[in-house]
Amino acid sequence: MIRFTNISKRFGRFQALDSIDLELGTGRAIALIGPNGSGKTTLIKCLLGMVVPDTGAITFRDKDIRHDHAYRADIGYMPQIGRYPDNMTIGQLIDMMKDIRQSAGRPLDEELIRDLGLQPLLHKRMRTLSGGTRQKVSACLAFLFDPTVLVLDEPTAGLDPVSSGILKEKIDTETAKGKLVLITSHILSELDDLVDEVVYLQDGRVRFHKTIPQLQADTGEKKLVRAIAHVML
């Protein structure tokens, strides 16, 4: 569904991405993991067209995403640090996004707004929100338009255990519906029963891209944390 071909990106002297080749299929939850600064977020931003790669091409449903914007209607993005206009309330923000991203005929998925308990907070201004609540808003916006691809950058960072559980459940149901979910996270133990594949990035390169059973077989470890530790050593 999404194919990265020879993607490189350099920020000044820093090589953020170094000829990345990757193919992501639909109906799977894929974990994008790697140390800090390994290029996870940059890769995601390339996919969303926020960062323009120096070389290479990204295709979404076999269409080059360069000079295109319509493909983003199929992507729900939850940023690592959700930054929103300060003096808007949560309700206004959600209404604005609905208004801008008119999904004619497409049903809205407001399940998370209800489940994460945002309903009573709709009148609160973005400026006054805690990091966790902000994260909840990001999650709601990512799932709101029922997109076929979900890109979640550190989705559970800053969320309390209950909310994080609700979000993980949601991710599971969406994957089961045949969506492609791309998750980056540092908390590997969380990913264990969530993802089907692992992409490991290091220094802007793909170290490996394996399914969980394959990884378990190769390393002889059951838990993702141990398996990754095994590879890193």
Partner 1 sequence: MNKLIKYVLLDILRNRMLAAYTGFLLAITVTMLCLGDNPTKSILALLNIVLIVVPLVSLIFSTIYYYNSAEFIELLLGQPLKRNRILLSLFTGLAASLLIAFCIGVGLPLLIVYPGATSALLVAVGGILSVIFSALALLGSVTMRDKARGIGMAILAWFYFSLLYDGLVLFLLFQFSDYPLETPSVILGALNPVDLGRIVLLLRLDSSAMMGYTGAVFQSVFGNAGGTTLAFLILLGWTTIPIWLSVRRFNRKDL
Contacts with partner 1, residue ranges (CB under 8 A): 11, 45, 48-52, 69-73, 75, 77, 79, 83-88, 96-97, 99-101
Tell me, rounded to whole angstroms, the distance of Cα 67 from its chain centroid.
Answer: 22
DSSP sequence for 180-233? EEEEE-S-HHHHTTT-SEEEEEETTEEEEEEEHHHHHHHH--SSHHHHHHHHH-
Q: How far is the CB of 86 from partner 1 (least distance, A)?
A: 8
Residue 101 or 205: the one with the smaller Cβ distance to partner 1 is 101
Nearest to partner 1 of 75, 181 (CB atom): 75
- Least spacing, CB of residue 59 vs partner 1, in Å: 17
Q: And the tokens for 232?
A: 């890193």
Distance CA 217, CA 214 (A): 5
Q: How many residues does the chain have?
A: 233
Cβ 213 to partner 1 shortest distance, Å: 33
Q: In whole angstroms, how close is the CB of 105 to partner 1 at the nearest point?
A: 15
Distance CA 116, CA 126 (A): 16
Tell me the closest approach of the beta carbon of residue 18 to partner 1, in angstroms.
Answer: 17
CA-based radius of gyration for the chain: 18
Q: Closer CB to partner 1, residue 83 or residue 222?
A: 83
The H-or-E segment that residue 60 falls in is strand 55-60
Which residue, 71 or 200, is less far from partner 1 as judged by CB?
71
- List alpha helices for 35-103, DSSP H: 40-47, 90-100
Nearer to partner 1, 84 or 143 (CB): 84
Residues 6+ apart with CB under 8 A from 176: none
Of the two residues 97 and 231, which places its CB atom closer to partner 1 in the complex? Answer: 97
The minimum distance between CB 152 and partner 1, in angstroms, equals: 12
